[in-house]
Amino acid sequence: MMIHAEKCIGCGRCQPYCPTAAISYDGLKSKIDQDICYECSTCLRAAHCPVDAIGESPNVYDYPRALRRYFSDPSATHVATGIQGRGTEESKTNDATGRCGPNQVGIAVEIGRPTLGMSLLDIQKITRAIARAGVHKIEPHNPIHSMIADEATGDLKPEMLGERLLSAIIEIQVERDQLRSILRTIKEVAKEVDSVFCVDAFTVVGPGLAIPEEVLESIRAEGFTWRPNAKVNMGMGRAWE
Amino acid sequence: MTHSLHREGSLESLEREYVLFIYPARGFNYKGSAPKVRRMVELLYQAGPVNMIPTSLRRNMYSGVTPEEILESITVEGTRVYSVFNDREKLKKALILLKKADEGISIMVSGVTDRVREIAAELGIEPHMVNLSLGIHGRTDRLAPADIREFTTMCGHGVVSPHLVKDMLRRVKTGKVSEWDGSVLLAEPCTCGIYNPYRSSELLREKAPLYTVDRW
């Protein structure tokens, strides 16, 4: 995003809207730091500049900078997946798709959340760690998959590494007996990154929303805890195509 | 997209809030989903959500858009719907109506697991899958303070800025904006419509006295 200096009246209204504090005064005008800007377009959509001084950067759709927009603006349709959003339908439609089976556990690493974002160099540390742990299949419908240069090593495409994203999701599936080792890997790589990520684990439940004890035990054993609030697929979807 | 999973706050506050998604599955029930989703949204309106957005019209309920405009926009196959309820009974009413309609489109509910389990049991619904939040990891020292995250994590995509929350606390504290109007402003950046302005309003009322103001 950019602020047209000839229009800006320096009211500062847009500044608090930026999730990453990329907007600050440059003299008497507001200016966006292009290195920090995630191209999420929140300032354009929500700040309601009184003089319409906010606009898109001229290079916002140039590759690889365009990645910032596709991952950071929740309303942007991702070129790799054709859908809005950083991840896939994951657990949300599993009752219709059956993508994650009863003996599997889905893991999502929500990069940069909440609100900090992350550099692609840090994301690569996570994809490499996951590959070293023996998981070479990142969910193919997830936009992160299209950024992988080498599934065996987890290396991302080198030309992307200078970019930053407000949020992205690495999604993998493992067998239940692999859950502990992948959680251990995630815990270790957390020490190497200069930002934050949230971790999710999704699993098919038993009657009465009974969470499999084997899954909970693996989570406990690796020193993780789960929050009291969760997302529940109510089991009301079905396939007809 | 797991943007409703990591909402932070007291258990008492979280227990009053439920996020409900309507989600067609690409390649499985996309075709013919638009009229079904539209009917499901009509049912949601009967239950009284406090915020809602279909992906066909990314404007929340406080943007001036009418229910008719929201319904009319749902013509695209695969349109998803995000909504929030701030009352257990209203969520229950929505689920009763959706279960009866039996449109076959996936429905997700984010909320305190024990409460969702109770509601499902009361309605004879057998949930299929749970997505657990295993917390935040890495440089947690760089995060905004926990009380600010109670606001910002209502938008899992991270576009409700911690700086905007602090600015709104300042504006509420100095009488420049009411808690409700401040919350509607905070809800605007969230293009998924799952920011709960009612809960936000309660939080602004609760937090404002705790902050000192250095810029009037």
Contact (Cβ atoms closer than 8 angstroms) between residue B207 and residue B175: no
Q: Is B7 on the interface with A (CB under 8 A)?
A: yes
pLDDT at A136: 78
Which of B157, B164, B194 should one mutate to test binding to chain A, selecting the residue with the greatest count of A CBs within 10 A? B157
Looking at the partner chain, which of B106, B114, B167 has a beta carbon nearest the beta carbon of A96?
A: B106
Query: Considering chain B, what percentage of its residues have pLDDT values greater than 90?
Result: 86
What value does the mean pLDDT of chain B take?
94
Round to whole Å and give the CA distance between B6 and A196: 13
Angle at B201 between CA B197 and CA B203, to 5 degrees: 115
Looking at the partner chain, which of B27, B106, B125 has a beta carbon nearest the beta carbon of A92?
A: B106
The average pLDDT across B195-210 equals 95
pLDDT at A7: 97
A233/B130 Cβ within 8 A? yes
Of B181 and B214, more confident: B181
Residues in chain B within 8 Å Cβ distance of A240:
28-29, 31-32, 104
pLDDT at B1: 41
Contact (Cβ atoms closer than 8 angstroms) between residue B152 and residue B169: no
Helix (H) or strand (E) holding A233: strand A229-233
- Amino acid residing at B186: L
Which of A32, A232, A238, A241 should one mutate to test binding to chain B, selecting the residue with the greatest count of B CBs within 10 A? A232
- Can you read off the two tokens belonging to residue A144? 């992160």
Contact (Cβ atoms closer than 8 angstroms) between residue A113 and residue A167: yes
Nearest alpha carbon to residue B52 among B34, B65, B35: B65
Angle between helices A179-189 and A120-132 (to 10 degrees): 150
Q: Is B169 on the interface with A (CB under 8 A)?
A: no
pLDDT at A87: 62
Query: Does B135 score more than 90 pLDDT?
Result: yes
pLDDT at A167: 87
The minimum CA-CA distance between A77 and chain B, rounded to whole Å, is 11
Of A89 and B94, more confident: B94
pLDDT at B157: 84
Query: Does B150 score more than 60 pLDDT?
Result: yes
Instruction: Please state whether the predicted TM-score (pTM) of the whole model is above 0.90.
Output: yes
The minimum CA-CA distance between A228 and chain B, rounded to whole Å, is 6
Concatenated DSSP letters for A76-144? SBPTTTSSBSSS-SGGGGHHHH--S-TTEEEEEEEETTTTT-EEHHHHHHHHHHHHHTT-----TTSGG
pLDDT at A82: 57
Contact (Cβ atoms closer than 8 angstroms) between residue B152 and residue B161: yes
- What string of H, E and C letters represents the secondary structure of B52-117? EEECCCCCCCCCCCCHHHHHHHCCCCCCCEEEEECCHHHHHHHHHHHHHHCCCCEEEEEEEHHHHH
The minimum CA-CA distance between B46 and chain A, rounded to whole Å, is 19
Looking at the partner chain, which of B3, B5, B189 has a beta carbon nearest the beta carbon of A42?
A: B189
- What string of H, E and C letters represents the secondary structure of A123-142? HHHHHHHHHHCCCCCCCCCC
Residues in chain B within 8 Å Cβ distance of A21:
161, 163
pLDDT-derived band at B156, boundaries 50, 70, 90? confident
Nearest alpha carbon to residue A70 among A38, A116, A36: A38
- Is residue B127 classed as helix, strand or coil in its secondary structure? coil
ipTM exceeds 0.90, yes or no: yes
Of all residues in chain B, the one with the smallest CA distance to A90 is B1
**Owner of token pair 């020193």:** A223
Contacts of residue A65, Cβ cutoff 8 Å, sequence gap at least 6 = A39, A57, A59, A163
Residues in chain B within 8 Å Cβ distance of A205:
127-130
A93/B25 Cβ within 8 A? yes
Of all residues in chain B, the one with the smallest CA distance to A202 is B131
pLDDT-derived band at B4, boundaries 50, 70, 90? confident
B7/A240 Cβ within 8 A? no
pLDDT-derived band at B213, boundaries 50, 70, 90? confident
Contact (Cβ atoms closer than 8 angstroms) between residue B78 and residue B133: no
Q: What is the pLDDT along chain A (241 residues), one digit of tens a residue?
A: 999 999 999 999 999 999 999 999 999 999 999 999 999 999 999 999 999 999 999 999 999 999 999 889 887 776 655 555 556 666 789 999 999 999 999 999 999 989 899 999 999 999 999 999 998 777 777 888 889 999 999 999 999 999 999 988 999 999 999 999 999 999 999 999 999 999 999 999 999 999 999 999 999 999 999 999 999 999 999 999 8
Q: Is B35 on the interface with A (CB under 8 A)?
A: no
- Can you read off the two tokens belonging to residue A173? 């599936």
Residues in chain A within 8 Å Cβ distance of B85:
none
